[in-house]
Chain A
């Protein structure tokens, strides 16, 4: 069974640009979660989508947004990138416990 997949693996962007990260959940999982792991800040919850709707949101500004598609895959969009957005972005899917993908490492210069 395929695990959670994320793309791209690595990304380098310039401050002020916009970025879209993608996540495909494990087959049969309807919930998708996004977390940010920035250096020195630990793992922080960003967003939770279930059945196409945003169910919960962490303490992040509105320039962090996302959506979930009918096939349960998800996108995370970050507008007006700032240097402190540099982090590993992890996606997880769940039917109970959360299983994580390999992450997308975003570097903002």
Chain B
């Protein structure tokens, strides 16, 4: 069975704090892809990153960084020096197999950044 767990329902931080959003996944496939999406209050899901199962290299994009560890089946997302505009619901998602297929989403983590 495929599953994505985001144990943190809601996180509140003050601006400029660093924050890490956890994501744990389950799959029996050896080839799979992991994603993070941001959903601001407007409702639209904004694509942030895609990683494949063969690439465990961590990635940094500006204030965003991702830590992929197959040993712990985790794909955590860190925002450095958080800003009020980072306030949103963040979803981790998984798709398995060689073909683009349905995304299996976690339940999301609501991040609130206060000024």
A74 contacts partner chain B, Cβ-Cβ < 8 Å: no
Q: Is the CB of A97 within 8 A of B35?
A: yes
Question: How many residues of B are counted as interface, with CB atoms below 8 angstroms from the partner's CB atoms?
Answer: 20
Interface band, chain A: 20 to 34
Chain A residues near B91 (CB, 8 Å)? 43
**Minimum C-beta distance from A59 to chain B (A):** 11
- Taken together as a complex, chains A and B put the C-alpha atoms of A102 and B103 apart, in Å, by 17
The verdict on A105 contacting chain B, using a C-beta distance below 8 Å, is yes
Q: A101-B44, A102-B42, A102-B44 are in contact. Are A48 and B105 (CB under 8 A)?
A: no
- Residues of chain A whose beta carbon lies under 8 Å from any beta carbon of chain B: 31, 33, 35, 42-45, 48, 56, 58, 88, 90, 92, 94, 96-103, 105
Q: Can you show 14 pairs from A to B with CB atoms below 8 A apart? A: A42-B107, A45-B102, A48-B102, A88-B43, A90-B45, A92-B103, A94-B100, A98-B35, A98-B103, A99-B47, A102-B43, A103-B43, A103-B44, A105-B43
